Amino acid sequence: MIKDKTVADVMWKEVDIIDSKLTITQALETMQHKRTKMLIVDKSNPEDEFGVVLIADIASKVIAENKSCDRVNVYEIMNKPIISVTSSMSVKNCSTLLTRFGLSRCPVIDHGEVVGVVSLTNIVLNGLRV
């Protein structure tokens, strides 16, 4: 039943964590999990926060503005701080959070470590299955 499902039940466990100093070209070349449509930007130090670059960010902030992917660094277009959830959050609460903030996906962070990515697509297609 959906009320019993948690983010851990529907999230992708494979994520791409990149350095903020990479160019967009380098970041895309290292991206192995394209279905997440998200690159997680690693913390620059232990007190820092994670960042995020979505495929949509690259389209709107680089391509649409006619900038070179070889000349734009990840830190220039990343979103930070980010909204994240824990793997133990219910899919109902996660869905509410994502829709309330107009997000389609977000990182899953447990104890300060990225453990996955959850999306509304995952919740709808996998969360409703019994």
What is the full DSSP assignment across 75-110?
HHH-B-S---B-TTSBHHHHHHHHHHTT-SEEEEEE
Position 130 pLDDT exceeds 80? no
**Is residue 18 a contact partner of residue 39, using CB atoms and an 8 Å limit?**
yes
The set of residues, in sequence order, having a beta carbon less than 8 Å from that of 122 and lying 6+ positions away, is 10, 11, 12
Tell me which H or E stretch contains 51: strand 51-54
Residues 4 and 22: their CA atoms lie apart, in Å, by: 40
* Residue of 57, 35, 23, 27 whose CA lies nearest to 116: 35
> Average pLDDT in the 49-60 region?
96
- Digit-coded pLDDT (tens) for 12-33: 999 999 999 999 999 999 999 9
pLDDT at residue 3, as a whole number: 64
Residues 30 and 72: their CA atoms lie apart, in Å, by: 16
- Per-residue pLDDT band at 128 (split at 50, 70, 90): low
The letter for the amino acid at 23 is T
Residues forming a β-bridge with 128: none
The letter for the amino acid at 47 is E
Position 48 pLDDT exceeds 80? yes
Locate 87 and state its tokens.
């793997």
